[in-house]
Amino acid sequence: MDDLGRVLRGSWGAGCWCMFPRLTDAQLRELPGAGSTSQRRRDAMTALARRRRAPGLLAFADDEAVGWVAVAPRGELTRIDRSRATPRVDEVDVWVIPCVTVRKTARGRGVALAMIRAAVDYAMAHGASAVEAYPRAGAERTADDNAYVGTEPLFRRAGFKVVRKRLENLPRNWIPRVTMRITPPDRGRAK
């Protein structure tokens, strides 16, 4: 957990502990334990990390943690599953990559792409029939900390295909997203 904390420190996820996509606001408020919201989220992530199946993967450069990618069955990501911004495309039982982050000191070295590919491999090894992501739509540059959901070009490089274009009539302040998916025959092929 200390390694995950080092990756998230100084970024959007410092207090999130990657619990935001997993729980609704009400569920986040109801997290057990004492201390700050951040500490209760860390405790919740610690409990998830103790399970047989990991809630995500850490990337290391030598002995230094440099990146994090969350990956889980969609049903475990309550906020994602209930969101108007990320509705289901069909009834395929997908796993989801809700967020990916790389420490500022390690960006631009292919870490995010490697983590996405590793997350797909991990999900497939644990029975996923497909993996989805809901990255920022288009190729327009954005501040790095605004790209925690990933970008459309990044997921394309990882072999994902757009299965639903940007939704219309969403609030203006919501991140414009596309739904992208990869299935076993697509793995390893950039599109």
pLDDT digits (tens, 9 = 90+) for 104-151: 889 899 999 999 999 999 999 999 999 999 999 988 776 655 678 999
Specify the CATH architecture of the domain 55-186.
3-Layer(aba) Sandwich (3.40)
pLDDT at 191 over 70: no
CA angle 46, 132, 98 (to 5 degrees): 35
CB contact set of 83 (below 8 Å; sequence gap of 6+): none
For residues 153-177, average pLDDT: 92
DSSP string across 101-161: EE-GGGTTSSHHHHHHHHHHHHHHHTT-S-EEE-PBSSS----GGG-TT-BHHHHHHTT-E
Q: For position 174, what pLDDT does the model report? A: 86
Q: What is the pLDDT of residue 184?
A: 76
Q: Look up the pTM and report it.
A: 0.91
Backbone φ, ψ for residue 110 (5° rounding)? 85, 10
Percent pLDDT > 90 in the chain is 73
Residue with tokens 């295909």: 161
User: Given a cut of 80, is residue 11 above it in pLDDT?
Assistant: no
Predicted pLDDT at 123: 97
The residue length of the chain stands at 191
Long-range residue pairs from 71-78, CB within 8 A, at least 24 positions apart, any chain? 71/95, 71/96, 71/97, 71/119, 71/122, 71/123, 71/131, 72/22, 72/96, 72/98, 73/128, 74/132, 76/22, 77/21, 77/22, 78/22, 78/23, 78/24, 78/27
Q: 151 has which bridge partners?
A: 136
Q: Is the pLDDT reported for residue 30 higher than 80?
A: yes
Q: What is the mean pLDDT of residues 82-98?
A: 95
The predicted model gives 93-108 an average pLDDT of 93
User: What pLDDT shows up at residue 170?
Assistant: 86
Residue 159 has a pLDDT of: 96
Extents of the domains making up the chain:
55-186
The more confidently predicted of residues 14 and 83 is: 83
